[in-house]
Structure 1
Amino acid sequence: MCMKQKVLFFVNYYAGGAEKMTLNIAGFLNQNQYDIVLYIIGKDLGPISKFVPEGIRVEHLKVNSYKDFLVFKLAKALYKERPEFAFSSLMPINWRLCVASILFPSVKVILRANDYLHTQSFLQVVRLRFTYNFSWKVIVQTLEMRDEHINRLHLKVKDVLTLSNPVNVNRIEEKIRGKGSPFIMGHLNFVFVGRVDYIKGVDLLLKSFSKVLVRYPDAKLFVVGEIGGVFKFYYNSLLTIIEELNIGSSVNFVGFTDNPYIYIKFADCLVLPSRNEGLPNVVIEALHLGTPVAATLSVPVVGRIIVDGVNGYVVNVDDEVAFANAMLSSVKLGRVNSYYRSASIEDFQNIFL
């Protein structure tokens, strides 16, 4: 009988896109072949703990911030577990995991890039340049991201894998099975799903939505995402905008939920007003569920996922008038299809062979 290979997955306790994708990848591995351990990094187990696939052992790596001796604690976890593979998908954890792994040359460190290098400061890029070379493989999501990592971090071409985010079809279908619409009939319903912070452009969304209300006074906007903790200050600024625009009766903050898919499925339009993205999972998921998308061209790949006038509309970042028009046009498309090819489950499974 062959012994299982041990794989450690490290995630932040917030349930962001990078964290959820990490859990998707962990869920792709056959538990008869791999001993999978999830280390949740943060002050507590947090919202991400609600997304852990069944059968995966969870450990808590307690820190109040990434500067709280995280490198030492990562090294301690590697020493305790002695894994064949260690996986991380968030830049502040990625480089620290590389440093921690120096003492354990047999561990194959797999990193998934969650952002573009041009969004990072010079010092941040230098830090990545000197640490990412201790990794075994680096997964990037787009061709643009691939070129950046090879050229700016001097990574070997063979060690950089371009894999677009896969749709976890089984999880989505499980979450929506037998579920009805969360909306009241007779309204146009727009849905935002993600972190409620400045980089996601929710302030722009509110201003655009106020213009949509001129055309459709009964329209509703649902904001699905965490509004407490580090997001509280920005959330309070949004409340001020809502009051100034007098749209409070039309905007609903749902907060965090482990089942955003029922909102996405039954919405008339998913909105993504981001100022920056890596590869927006929520857009891929929305199109899989047949919901049209109004989005900003925060990164070039958005324009390859969304076909203008077919399954949504794409406009420039921070253009509230254009975004309002994209919202108005998208709801007229009805149910749509996705033409974007995601990486397969097998593509990710093969990395761990």
Structure 2
Amino acid sequence: MLRIGLLIDSLIGGGAERVVLNFAGGLAKLGHDVHIILVKNEQQHQTSDVPFTIHHLSENGVLAESRWRNKQLLSEKLQATVTRIESDGKKFNFFTSNAEDMDRLSKMAKLDPVFIRYRNSMVKYIETKVGNKTGLKKIIRQFRWIQKFRSIYSNRHIVTVSNALQGELVNQVGVKPKSLTTIYNPFDFDLLRSKAAEPIDPALKPQEPYIIYAAKFENRKRQDLLLKAYAKANISQKLVLIGGTYTASDERWYKQMMELIKELGIEDKVILPGFQNNPYAWVKGADLFVMSSDSEGLPTVLIESLIVGTPVISTNCPTGPSEILIDEFSTFLSPTDDVAGLATNIRKALESYPEITDAYLEKFSINNSLSQYIRHYENQSAGNN
């Protein structure tokens, strides 16, 4: 039995948080001693009934006004939490870091070994930070962010969630990892399908056929692109947008989407049920799942939708969709920021879609993913002896 620590900021609604719970449930079922350690005591997702333990470093992530001092205190709390758990004489075999704050804090706390799940495009993130800067200001800002990422991620164990992220990390950002491999996120097919079979609250359940997108409201998820494509597609199905807001920026984006819905004249066709603890029943009931993001790591929602049998289409954003929708499914990828392309694929997928088989999805199965993580840990341990 291994003792494994899963590090993440919180368990509020999101794909990364669901993946951590998939890890925890799957590893616990295999008989391992699993501990989830949170920066903030915040949780929306339902937790499994299998035995794993959840710890938190703070109530809201703030222990000091100074940003530097706050990180220092949180790293000390992380170190103390690990020491307390290990006081029974059993050490952690390894940790996985599943969020940016924990990537930094685990380094400051000198935890080892930590396998960092590299989840999102660093290049796209830098682009958003550079914004519309030009000339010397652009060069300086790019340089600072690249140096920051190199200082955090170089000489560390990196596990990318898609193959495309490997090249970006090494060739474009210049990170030099201690080890580097790709392991897809784990998905418990039976659990997802059982959740998908649960009833939807009758007060919220759409009475008409619908298509769906489940994502928090933020610019990167591009609900605006989907709304425009949906209006252009002119289909009979309603559009369900599942998701919540967690920051002031998210709230502003949500307000803009409400205004856009009015501008497009589709107020009577868009359903907004907010965050849902069990989105799988909603996805299962949809005629189509549509993802409109500008960037991802390995989009959990696409794989989950396919597992519960719902056809999906997506923007071909970096990274992940092109590794999920391959072969005959690849025709349902459209360029990012392409309203017409997304609208065309909405109509095409509703008319005809390939059969979704477990053989096609096997590379995302929980047993396949977890066995790769354990094997990777064993290989790294053997290399250090």
Q: TM-score, normalised by structure 1?
A: 0.85
Report the CA distance between 1:6 and its aligned residue: 2.8
Report the CA distance between 1:143 and its aligned residue: 2.0
Q: 1:129 maps to what in 2? A: 150
8 A contact 1:99–1:131 mirrored in 2: no
The alignment status of 1:271 with 2:268, answered yes or no, reads no
Distance 2:166 2:243 in 1: 29
Alignment of 1:167-246 (within 5 A): 167-177=187-197, 179=199, 184=206, 187-213=208-234, 216=235, 218-227=236-245, 229-230=247-248, 231-246=250-265
Q: 2:302 maps to what in 1? A: 283
Q: Percent identity?
A: 23
Distance 1:302 1:226, change over 3 A: same
Alignment of 1:92-107 (within 5 A): 92-101=101-110, 107=112
8 A contact 1:29–1:349 mirrored in 2: no
Q: 1:342 maps to what in 2? A: 364
Counterpart among 186, 203, 208 of residue 166 in structure 1: 186
3-state secondary structure, aligned to 2:296: coil
Counterpart among 59, 75, 88 of residue 97 in structure 2: 88
Distance 2:199 2:61 in 1: 38
1:114-139 Cα distance to aligned partner (Å, 9 max, x none): 1123124343432332233464x321
Report the CA distance between 1:178 and its aligned residue: 5.4
Report the CA distance between 1:86 and its aligned residue: 2.2
Distance 1:108 1:78, change over 3 A: same
Distance 1:31 1:165, change over 3 A: closer
Q: 1:73 maps to what in 2? A: 77
Distance 1:140 1:46, change over 3 A: same
1:212-238 Cα distance to aligned partner (Å, 9 max, x none): 23xx3x420111111354422211111
Q: 2:54 maps to what in 1? A: 58
Q: 1:144 maps to what in 2? A: 164
Distance 1:281 1:206, change over 3 A: same
Report the CA distance between 1:276 and its aligned residue: 0.7
Distance 1:119 1:205, change over 3 A: same
Distance 2:304 2:311 in 1: 11
Distance 1:295 1:326 in 2: 9
Q: Greater helix percent: which structure?
A: 2
1:113-168 Cα distance to aligned partner (Å, 9 max, x none): 11123124343432332233464x32112222122334421114xx2121122322
1:155-186 Cα distance to aligned partner (Å, 9 max, x none): 14xx212112232213202212454797555x
8 A contact 2:35–2:55 mirrored in 1: yes
Q: 2:130 maps to what in 1? A: none
What is the aligned-residue RMSD (CA, Å)? 2.7
Counterpart among 273, 284, 301 of residue 254 in structure 1: 273
Distance 2:219 2:93 in 1: 38
Q: 2:139 maps to what in 1? A: none
The residue identity in structure 1 corresponding to 2:96 is F
Report the CA distance between 1:332 and its aligned residue: 1.1
Report the CA distance between 1:257 and its aligned residue: 1.4
Q: 2:138 maps to what in 1? A: none
Q: 1:37 maps to what in 2? A: 35
Q: TM-score, normalised by structure 2?
A: 0.79
Distance 1:133 1:301 in 2: 23
Distance 1:94 1:86 in 2: 11
8 A contact 2:245–2:251 mirrored in 1: yes
Q: 2:175 maps to what in 1? A: 153
8 A contact 1:292–1:311 mirrored in 2: no
Query: Structure 1: 5+ residue runs without aligned partners?
Result: none
Counterpart among 114, 118, 121 of residue 119 in structure 2: 114
